[in-house]
Structure 1
Amino acid sequence: MDWILEPWPWYVAGPLITLTMALLLFLGKNFGMSSNLRTLCTMCGAGSTCDFFCFDWRSQKWNLLIMVGAVLGGFIAFNFLSVNQVPQLNDEVVTQLHTMGFESAGKTYVPTELFGDGAFTSVKTIAILIIGGFLVGFGARYAGGCTSGHAISGLSNLQLPSLIAVVGFFVGGLIMVHLLFPLIF
């Protein structure tokens, strides 16, 4: 039973994702987390003010269940399954992170400077979370979906816009890590 507590190798997780996507395609469903925001807004009555929210949200109950499962799974994984796990980071990366103020780098699963109890006492951290959340939400809406929707569902449907979006996500991630992250921290 210890195998379930460890990260699964790509040759197990990959085929499981493929099997899930094949099942969704067979059932005529599209996977994506950002579409749940539209569903939640529709459930709260946004359809009375905007035509975009006028659709049968009950047809998306299955996707809401996936969203709840992802949140619950993340909570369980973080609080119960990753207690003793620390990612293996290159010593040079750890040194760079330490110079940027991340003293927990290489010692914890996530940086406590951003995700610890004291994170919300810093105005800078709160600003980063609010601006980052806005940019992620805007980007997901502007791109017509989020990373999971485009990279998993869109690419499995061989959609060119999803390929363009995934390339954009990758380039954006490289720019963030190599240019913006050192400036922010």
Structure 2
Amino acid sequence: MSQLLDWISQPWPWYVAGPLIALVMFSMLFFGKSFGLSANLRTMCSILGAGRSCDFFDFNWRDQMWNLVFAAGLVLGGLISYLYLGNDQAAHISETTITELQAFGIENPGENVVPKEIFNWENLLSVQGIIFMVVGGFLVGFGTRYAGGCTSGHAISGLSDLQPASLLAVVGFFIGGLVMTYFILPHLLVM
């Protein structure tokens, strides 16, 4: 049992994870389903009755129950991974990245999943915390709605379905990520 847990807790190689993702996507295409996590918010709003006042939420949410089960599985899987499969190893990041992050005041880059200097309860009510959590959260929600889906929906499902809009959205995600990483984030980290 210990060997099985050791094997499961390690990152799976691309030649295992990639074909599994492809198999899931082919089966979803075969059954006429599309994948995307942001669709779950629309489904939950519809379940709660938002369709009575907004046409966007007026659809048969029962057809999307499988997607809610999938999202619940993600949460449960994350909890199981954290409680039983996690390890205390630091993330492997390059020396250049460590040096750059330390210059921004992050003491031990890679020690935790997220830097504790940024993501902590004390920082939440600071200007930096409000920008990261409130403004960032709003922009993610707005961008998801404006793009017609989230990164997982466009990058996995939309590209598998050969949708040109998904290709454009994924290119936009990467450009936005690069702009954020190199031009905006350094200014936010020194606040």
Q: For this pair of structures, how many residues does the alignment match?
A: 185
Matches of 1:79 and 1:176 in 2, distance apart? 32
Matches of 1:79 and 1:109 in 2, distance apart? 15
Residue 53 (structure 2) pairs with residue 49 (structure 1)? yes
Equivalent pair of 2:8/2:85 in contact (CA under 8 Å) = no
Equivalent pair of 1:150/1:163 in contact (CA under 8 Å) = yes
TM-score (norm 1): 0.93
* Residue of 69, 93, 96 corresponding to 1:92: 96
Residue 73 (structure 2) pairs with residue 72 (structure 1)? no
CA RMSD of aligned residues (A): 1.6
Give 1:119 shift: 4.2
* Residue of 8, 19, 25 corresponding to 2:23: 19
Partner of 2:146: 142
* Residue of 65, 90, 108 corresponding to 1:104: 108
Gaps of at least 5 residues in structure 2 are none
* Residue of 22, 30, 40 corresponding to 2:44: 40
Residue 131 (structure 2) pairs with residue 131 (structure 1)? no
The 1:17/1:108 distance shift into structure 2, 3 A limit, reads same
Give 1:72 shift: 2.2
Residue 182 (structure 2) pairs with residue 178 (structure 1)? yes
Matches of 1:37 and 1:94 in 2, distance apart? 36
User: Identity over the aligned pairs, expressed in percent?
Assistant: 55
Matches of 1:9 and 1:50 in 2, distance apart? 44
Amino acid in structure 2 at the alignment position of 1:94: I
Report Cα offsets for 1:50-103 as digits up to 9, x if no partner. Answer: 111111111100000111111222233344433313211111211111121211
Amino acid in structure 2 at the alignment position of 1:42: S
